[in-house]
Amino acid sequence: MLSSNLRQLHRLGRGAINMFSTDAKQFPEAKRRFIPSQGTYPHGFFAGGSHCGIKKNGKADLALLVSDRPTTTSAVFTTNQFCAAPVQYDRSVINGARDAREQRVRAVVINSGCANAVTGQQGLADAQEMGEAGAAFVRMFDKERGVEHEGGEALVMSTGVIGQRLPLSKITDGVTAMQVDETHEAWMRAAVAHMTTDTFPKLLSRQVDIAGQPIHLAGITKGAGMIHPNMATLLGTVCTDASVPQSLLDKALAHAVARSFNAISIDGDMSTNDTIAVIANGASGVVVGEGAAYEQFTTALTEFMADLASLVVRDGEGATKFLTIEVTGARTFADAKQ
C-alpha cells in the first residue's frame, strides 16, 4: 500500500496531463446499466487513463495498468495471419518470461486511436519503444515507493486506425505523466481510454473465494466491431491478486477464453490486434495449486471472462439483440462449439 504522500505523488503525475470525465451520463442511457459505479479491485494493482494526443477530438486514448510486484502473465492472441506489431511484441515478452521461468511483466500500456498494424519493422520498433516506456514507468514507480525490485517489462496493446505509425513522443510523454491509483475512478479512467467505436466503457470487478479465502478479479475490455469466434477487434486484460503458477494460469486461460471471448460473434470479421491477457500478482497471499483450488479458480475466471465478453456483444456496432445459444446433447465441448 502507498503512503499518503506517495499516493499524492502518483495522483499528481510527473508532468502535464489531460484529464477527462468518467461520468456515466455522457454515455447512451440504454448502456448506463452496464457501467459500474463502484468496484472491488485486486490488491497491488494500479490503474490510470489520460488523453495524450493520439485522438484529435480530445478523448481519452492512453491507459496504464501496473502491478506493485512481479506477476505471472498469460495471454492469447489473434489467429489472423497478419498479426500486428503489438501482438508480436507481447508474444516475445510472455514467451521469454515463460522460457526463463521468471516473473517479468509488471505493466500493460494501452493506446486507442492507432492500431500500429500493417506497419512493418518500424511498427515492431515502435511497439518495443512503447513497452520500454512502460518499463521505465515501473522503475520510477518502484523508486518512489522505496521498493527495490528488478523493474520489469510491460506489455503493449493498440487499437484504432490501421496503417499509421504510433505518435510515439505523445505516448511516451503520456506514460511518463500518467497518474495511477487503486481507486474505482482510476480503473474507470483506464476503461474509458480503451474505447474506439465503443459506446460505453467495459469494466468488471468481483471478489471470489478460493479454498475459503478471498481473491479479487478486475477486467477491462473493448471491442464494438469485427468480433467473431477466435476473437477479433478486441483487447482485454484481467488482473487478479491470486498467485497462480505459469502452467496452471496458461491452462485456466485457455479454458476460460474458449468459453468467453472465443465464443462470441457480431459481424464475422477478424482483426490483427486481438489480445486477452491475465495477470496474477499474488498480493492476496492465496496460492492456486493443483486440485480443487485450480478448479475453483478456473470456474471463477471463466464466469468472469464470460461476463466481460458479453459486454462486448452488447455494444456491437449495429447490434439490437443479445442472443445466447445453449447446446445440449453434445459429446464434448468441442462438438458443441461446432
Q: What are phi and psi of 120, to 5 degrees?
A: 65, -155
Question: What is the maximum span of the chain, computed from C-alpha positions, in angstroms?
Answer: 59
Q: Please count the residues of the chain.
A: 338
Exposed / middle / buried, residue 3 (Cβ in 10 Å: 0-12, 13-18, 19+): exposed
Output the CA angle 279-132-81, nearest 5 degrees. 70
Q: Count CB-CB contacts under 10 A for residue 192.
A: 29
DSSP run (H or E) holding 238: strand 235-240
Question: For residue 75, which of 219, 293, 278 has the smallest C-alpha distance?
Answer: 278
Whether 221 is a known active-site residue: answer no
Contacts of 73 (CB under 8 A, 6+ apart): 94, 97, 103, 104, 105, 155, 249, 277, 278, 279, 280
In whole angstroms, give the CA distance from residue 264 to residue 141: 37
Which cell goes with 51? Answer: 488523453
How far is residue 191 CA from its own chain's centroid? Answer: 9
Among 22, 119, 221, 233, the active-site one is: 233
Q: What are phi and psi of 106, to 5 degrees?
A: -125, -15
Contacts of 26 (CB under 8 A, 6+ apart): none
Give the catalytic positions in this structure: 233
